Amino acid sequence: MVLANQQFQHALKEWAIAVDALSTGKTVVLLRKGGIREQGFKVKHPLIWLYPTYEHQKPDLLKPEYASGVIPVTSGWHPQTVTIKSCAEITNVLPVSQKQQIEALQPYHIWNEKMIGDRLKWKPKTPLIVLLLRVYRLATTQTIAYNDIYGGCKSWIDLIEPIATNNLTPVIKAHDYEQEAQEIKDLIS
């Protein structure tokens, strides 16, 4: 559980459209295999900031209701500042390697079948990791300057300055989150 008045700097880089979906309660699921330079995906910290990225977002890899929210950018582009609006507790890390397990999760995430197929084909011996995240919104978003150490195809970064967890609000009520998380775990077990 997230405790008030903590400070930490660990962050997970994820498409901005996915961060928005998590931060508004539209999903509690991320599907990961890790960055190009990583040897698989490993959770380093159970409590993380959600760091939005823009460079590799592609509307054709998202369900239609999310695709329209993506503005494609050129390779290497990054904003001068990044807005951090939420943190998450990673409650479950579930490796999945069977296509039918992923297909069962279709109602719970933002990606379309093309994205799922691409993810399964990339590093086919590496399981896809299903992350279940309990997300909390900051009362006041934090805008930080972009730094070159945040760049590159990697999942994890440490922010230069820690951010405090003061005045967090859960995006989804505890009971509702637990119920949805259990539904997802049951589907892929």
Compute the distance between CA of residue 180 and CA of residue 149 in angstroms, rounded to an integer: 35
In the chain, how many H helices and how many E strands?
5, 7
Whether 130 and 74 have beta carbons less than 8 Å apart is answered as no
User: What's the pTM value of the predicted model, to 2 decimals?
Assistant: 0.92
- Owner of token pair 């049951």: 186
With beta carbons less than 8 A apart as the criterion, state whether 102 and 45 touch: no
Q: Domains for the chain: give ranges and CATH numbers.
A: 7-188 (2.30.130.30)
Q: What string of pLDDT tens digits covers the 189 residues of the chain?
A: 555 678 899 999 999 999 999 999 999 999 988 665 666 678 989 999 999 999 888 999 999 999 999 988 988 888 999 999 999 999 999 999 888 888 899 999 999 988 888 887 887 788 889 999 999 999 999 999 999 999 988 889 999 999 999 889 999 999 999 999 999 999 988
CA–CA separation, 60 and 133 (whole Å): 24
Beta strands in 65-127 (DSSP E): 81-96
